[in-house]
Amino acid sequence: MYIRQMSIISFEEIIKFQQETKLEMILSQLDISKIAYSLRKSGYSKGPKGYEVTSMIYALIAMQ
């Protein structure tokens, strides 16, 4: 017989208590749409595929 353990707090309450990190606040204020558009537009056919341009730009910013 299995007894399901009751949760102390719900998932929604956990989300409510979490705060944004400094990096998340900085990245949410940046508008990189023009940069991402120009990089997508370049149309390089060589190299690995599968990386989103905006994610790569955010990673470069976060690295600094």
Evaluate whether residue 1 is within a structural domain.
no
**SS3 annotation, 8-43:** CCCHHHHHHHCCCCHHHHHHHHCCCHHHHHHHHHCC
Number of domains in the chain: 1
Banded model confidence at residue 16, pLDDT cuts 50, 70, 90: low
C-alpha–C-alpha distance, residues 22 and 35, integer Å: 22
Banded model confidence at residue 15, pLDDT cuts 50, 70, 90: low
Evaluate whether residue 10 is within a structural domain.
no
pTM of the entire predicted model: 0.56
Evaluate whether residue 3 is within a structural domain.
no
The parent domain of residue 31 ranges over 20-63
pLDDT digits 0-9 by tens, 26-56: 888 889 888 888 877 666 666 666 778 888 8
